[in-house]
């Protein structure tokens, strides 16, 4: 099997509403699968939406801010927990469609939230997680750091499937670790796939000799505010923080840019901006082998006598009970 269809669902979640966003994800997965997609991807932390107030609300980083705390509490209450009904719903539609699914979430583990991507395999007992290694800039106000125990890939009938989240694509050693797994497909998740994110995604495809789906989200200011209101019982300070984001309700907060990139760095599906939709392309994996002739960064184009990378894949728990 050397031909597969790779898809990115570029749709808005129901912002901060985990229940409604899960239902929407299931609907779009079925839609993409009906178009023949074998691997279906969503943007960074799509369930239930990127915390956009960190980038656009003027008082997001003020210490002890009532609105920021209320939004964090809402996000906490609308984050997935491993084994919960929301992840089960995605696994169920994965089994139903036979498609592999890669979706970004906010995951609650203990009392800490993580930016976690889950990769669902048809028939699997549970999805494979990847926690973002380093939250970027103001993201550290909401997420903890992942560790090497979730640097995972999964095997598909068409080859190895892996993913990284956002600025992890500018971590050279993270890229080297993933390239050593010889990905056939790589999901590059972003909140929005703007110009430099396109550059990083195309570079990853060329360097890794793999097909890359650059997955971005699309949300207007209205999507953000109305999504929060859909939860009912809104907090006045939290709502004020969202409404403080500049622009008109019809303005895009995130305007997509999802694309699919071939192993030579060219586009199989051009970036889609300013509209929702499913970005889809057929991949002939036999062509990836041709690209390997000139570059294999963990093979003939490496120098292990000079450079060596050690990856710690143990879970780094702060407290360990023994006995």
The 10s digit of each residue's pLDDT in 224-262 is 999 999 999 899 999 999 999 999 999 999 999 999 999
Across 263-281, average pLDDT: 98
Short-list 168, 128, 162, 151, CA closest to 39:
162
Look at residue 205 and tell me whether its pLDDT is greater than 90: yes
Q: Is 210 a catalytic residue?
A: no
Across 131-156, average pLDDT: 97
pLDDT score for 123: 97
pLDDT above 90 covers a percentage of the chain that reads 97
pLDDT score for 294: 95
Q: Is 94 a catalytic residue?
A: no
pLDDT score for 242: 98
pLDDT score for 184: 97
CA atoms within 13 A on the CB side of 161: 27
Across 161-173, average pLDDT: 98
CA distances from 176 to 15, 123, 170, 171, 191 (A): 34, 30, 11, 9, 23
Secondary structure, 3-state, 142-156? CCCCCCHHHCCCEEE
Q: Which residue has the higher pLDDT, 318 or 200?
A: 200
Look at residue 174 and tell me whether its pLDDT is greater than 80: yes
Tell me the DSSP string of 34-79. HTT-SEEE--TTTBT---THHHH-TTTTSTT-HHHHHHHHHHHHTS
Tens of pLDDT along 88-126? Answer: 999 999 999 999 999 999 999 999 999 999 999 999 999
For 41, list phi and psi in degrees, rounded to 5: -125, 155
pLDDT score for 16: 98
pLDDT score for 182: 96
pLDDT band at 323 (very low <50, low <70, confident <90, very high): confident
pTM for the full predicted model: 0.97
Tens of pLDDT along 41-98? Answer: 999 999 999 999 999 999 999 999 999 999 999 999 999 999 999 999 999 999 999 9
Beta strands in 110-251 (DSSP E): 112-120, 128-131, 154-156, 159-165, 185-189, 211-215, 218-220
The SS3 of residue 111 is coil
Look at residue 170 and tell me whether its pLDDT is greater than 80: yes
Q: Which domains does the chain show, CATH number per domain?
A: 3-291 (3.60.110.10)
Q: Is 44 a catalytic residue?
A: yes
pLDDT score for 131: 98
pLDDT score for 1: 75
Active-site residue (options: 24, 45, 132, 210): 132
Across 4-13, average pLDDT: 98
């Amino acid at each position: 099997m050397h031909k597969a269809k790779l898809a990115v669902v570029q749709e808005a979640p129901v912002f901060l509403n985990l229940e409604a966003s899960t239902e929407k994800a299931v609907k779009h997965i079925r839609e993409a699968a009906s178009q023949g997609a074998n691997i279906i991807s969503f943007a960074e932390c799509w369930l239930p939406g990127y915390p956009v107030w960190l980038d656009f609300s003027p008082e997001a980083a003020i210490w002890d801010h009532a609105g920021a705390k209320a939004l964090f509490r809402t996000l906490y209450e609308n984050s997935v927990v491993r084994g919960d009904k929301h992840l089960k719903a995605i696994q169920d539609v994965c089994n139903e469609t036979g498609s592999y699914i890669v979706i970004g979430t906010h995951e609650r583990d203990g009392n800490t939230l993580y930016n976690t991507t889950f990769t669902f395999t048809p028939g699997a007992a549970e999805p494979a997680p990847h926690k973002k290694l380093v939250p970027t800039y103001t993201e550290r106000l909401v997420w903890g750091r992942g560790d090497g125990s979730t640097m995972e890939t999964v095997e598909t009938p068409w080859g190895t499937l892996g993913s990284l989240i956002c600025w992890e694509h500018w971590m050279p050693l993270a890229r080297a670790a993933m390239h050593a797994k010889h990905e056939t497909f790589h999901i590059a998740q972003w909140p929005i796939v703007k110009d430099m994110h396109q550059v990083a995604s195309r570079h990853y495809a060329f360097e890794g000799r793999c097909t890359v789906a650059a997955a971005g989200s699309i949300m207007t200011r209205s999507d953000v505010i109305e999504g929060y209101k859909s939860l009912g019982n809104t907090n006045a300070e939290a709502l004020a923080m969202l409404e403080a984001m500049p622009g008109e309700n019809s303005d895009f907060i995130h305007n997509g840019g999802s694309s699919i990139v071939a192993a030579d760095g060219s586009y199989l599906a051009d970036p889609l901006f300013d509209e929702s939709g499913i970005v889809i392309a057929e991949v002939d994996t036999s062509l990836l082998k041709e690209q390997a002739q000139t570059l294999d960064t963990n093979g003939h184009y490496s120098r292990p006598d000079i450079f060596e990378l050690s990856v710690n894949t143990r879970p780094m728990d702060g407290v360990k009970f023994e006995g």
